[in-house]
Amino acid sequence: MSGRPVLIAGAGISGLLLAQHLQQLGVPYQLFEQDSAIDARSGGWGLTLHWALPALRELLPDHLVARLPETYVNKAAAARGDTGRFQFFDLQTGSALYSVPAEERIRVSRVRLRQLLATDLDVQWNKTLQNIESSSDSVTAHFADGSSYTGCLLIGCDGSRSRAREVLYPEGHEMSPLPVQLLGGAALYSPEEMGGAEKIDPFIFQGSHPETDVFFFFSLLDTPNNFEESSKDKYLCQIIISWADAKNIPVPSDNAERIALMKSLTENWVQPFKGLVHNLPESTEARSIRIADWMFQPVQSPAHPRVVLMGDSAHTMTMFRGEGANNAIVDVLDLTKRVDLRSVGSLSTEGLREGLTAYENDVFTRAEPSVVNSRQACLDAHDFSRIINGSPLVSARLRK
């Protein structure tokens, strides 16, 4: 059994980081991803890394730590030590009501971070996990293309719609939707179209209107000359607005109508926030996202003792506190501290399960408050009165 690899289902942040660490240790692994390539579903998202940065540096080889700036959305700001202020604005008056401090914080491109983490890794693409079969001393992953692979441990890193989660929690794997509608898109803006937004914060800011409770999130995804392939004179911006279902505003299926809706909902906003929405080109893809979350329970599956979840598969949380990626990174570190990965292939099922149980308890203790706070932050974002009285939406992000 000692020669059997660790099977990793999913090449997201946690799956790639785990594979990098196993490769450093010389532990055999097989990494599977349902997408066809690393950038198949980039989605135009950024990630804010803060309390997980020490763990990230501990897990990665030094040469990849040195290359982390290749992922930054604003390398110039990061180089001067600017961690941003992550301010929250009253969109009726333009007043900054809160800022969220951080000793260290960087904003990265999700697709660039995945590309960096995939360096020198053997990823098997187009592999959609279909089923899991367990025996007394091994686990076999079956994929939709008919292939099967057997290992000593299977780690489900396959995201918020995790098939591994379905297998482990057949009666309770579905996510819990929140009563919130969200529309967002990304576009290139000239300095004139930015209206000075780049001076507010070099990374991200947010706000809400006290009369309509429509929420706004702004993120820089790239800055002029940030990379060789970056625009020479424009900013790549992510624009998101959201509102509570109670407003009874349906999301149109037509893209042009979605852009028009975003602009109509922000007509009474003060500048530059109004302009950031109204300058969206009609050709922008306006994506509709239904917010939902899920949190695993650390209960051993007797049928699959060598299977465990990690990252979004274990704890899907809303984007309103930016803690999903941070928890996913520390998941990997917690596993390394609870399971001797160098000898994982020779561990008895009982010995392995003891370490996995300790890992699951660590993850639950840390991530469950993040899921709860992120859910509350999402609800509060669409009720201005809750925000001004204090909310997880505007409180500091700290590792529990």
Mean pLDDT by 10-residue block, N- to C-terminus, for the chain (400 residues)? 86 98 98 92 81 98 98 97 96 96 93 97 98 95 98 97 96 96 97 96 97 98 96 97 97 97 98 98 95 93 95 97 97 98 94 96 98 98 92 87
Give the count of domains, the chain. Answer: 2
Q: What is residue 92's three-state secondary structure?
A: coil
pLDDT score for 1: 41
Say if residue 246 is in the same domain as residue 338.
no
Say if residue 59 is in the same domain as residue 205.
no
Q: What is residue 154's three-state secondary structure?
A: strand
pLDDT score for 300: 77
Say if residue 236 is in the same domain as residue 335.
no
pLDDT score for 42: 57
Contact 231, 223 (CB under 8 A): no
Would you give the end-to-end CA distance of the chain in angstroms?
37
φ and ψ at residue 167, rounded to 5 degrees: -70, -45
Q: Specify if 267 maps to a domain.
A: yes
Segment (H or E) for 365: helix 349-380
Contact 148, 142 (CB under 8 A): yes
Q: Could you tell me which of 22, 34, 302 has the C-alpha nearest to residue 147? A: 34
Can you tell me the distance from the alpha carbon of 72 to that of 219, in angstroms, rounded to the nearest whole number? Answer: 12
Say if residue 24 is in the same domain as residue 154.
yes
Contact 323, 395 (CB under 8 A): no
Q: What is 281-347 written as a DSSP string?
A: -TTS--EEEEEEEEE------TT-TTEEE-GGGTEE--TTS--HHHHHHHHHHHHHHHS-GGGGGG-
Q: Are strands 153-156 and 307-309 parallel, antiparallel or unpaired?
A: parallel
The 8-class DSSP code of residue 133 comes to E
Q: Specify if 91 maps to a domain.
A: no
CA gyration radius for the chain?
Answer: 22
Q: Specify if 1 maps to a domain.
A: no
Can you tell me the distance from the alpha carbon of 270 to that of 200, in angstroms, rounded to the nearest whole number? Answer: 14
Can you tell me the distance from the alpha carbon of 215 to that of 82, in angstroms, rounded to the nearest whole number? Answer: 25
Can you tell me the distance from the alpha carbon of 370 to that of 52, in angstroms, rounded to the nearest whole number? Answer: 13
What CATH number did the domain enclosing 148 receive?
3.50.50.60
pLDDT score for 67: 98
pTM of whole model > 0.85? yes
Say if residue 216 is in the same domain as residue 135.
no
Q: Specify if 95 maps to a domain.
A: no
Amino acid at the residue 224 = P
Instruction: Tell me the two tokens of residue 154.
Output: 């299977």
Q: What is residue 202's three-state secondary structure?
A: coil
Say if residue 189 is in the same domain as residue 135.
no
Contact 12, 123 (CB under 8 A): no
Can you tell me the distance from the alpha carbon of 314 to that of 187, in angstroms, rounded to the nearest whole number? Answer: 32
Can you tell me the distance from the alpha carbon of 160 to that of 317, in angstroms, rounded to the nearest whole number? Answer: 9
Instruction: Tell me the two tokens of residue 105.
Output: 């914080």
Q: Specify if 104 maps to a domain.
A: no
Q: What is residue 187's three-state secondary structure?
A: strand
Instruction: Tell me the two tokens of residue 364.
Output: 């639950």
Contact 186, 238 (CB under 8 A): yes
CA 224 from chain centre, in angstroms, equals: 25
Handedness of CA 11, 13, 77, 275 (dihedral sign): positive
Can you tell me the distance from the alpha carbon of 314 to that of 308, in angstroms, rounded to the nearest whole number? Answer: 9
Say if residue 234 is in the same domain as residue 298.
no
Of 291, 314, 337, which marks where a domain is finished? Answer: 291
Around Cβ 191, how many Cβ atoms within 10 Å? 13
Say if residue 379 is in the same domain as residue 318.
yes
Domain of residue 131: give its range. Answer: 6-70+110-175+294-394
- To 5 degrees, how large is the angle CA 210–CA 216–CA 221? 160
pLDDT score for 43: 56
Of 291, 319, 337, which marks where a domain is finished? Answer: 291
Can you tell me the distance from the alpha carbon of 138 to that of 269, in angstroms, rounded to the nearest whole number? Answer: 58
pLDDT score for 124: 98
The 8-class DSSP code of residue 260 comes to H
Q: Specify if 102 maps to a domain.
A: no
Q: Specify if 328 maps to a domain.
A: yes
Of 266, 291, 316, which marks where a domain is finished? Answer: 291
Say if residue 237 is in the same domain as residue 162.
no
Say if residue 61 is in the same domain as residue 161.
yes
Number of helical H runs and strand E runs in the chain: 13, 18
pLDDT score for 136: 85
Contact 285, 227 (CB under 8 A): no
Say if residue 53 is in the same domain as residue 158.
yes
Say if residue 244 is in the same domain as residue 154.
no
Q: Specify if 371 maps to a domain.
A: yes
Instruction: Tell me the two tokens of residue 317.
Output: 């949380």
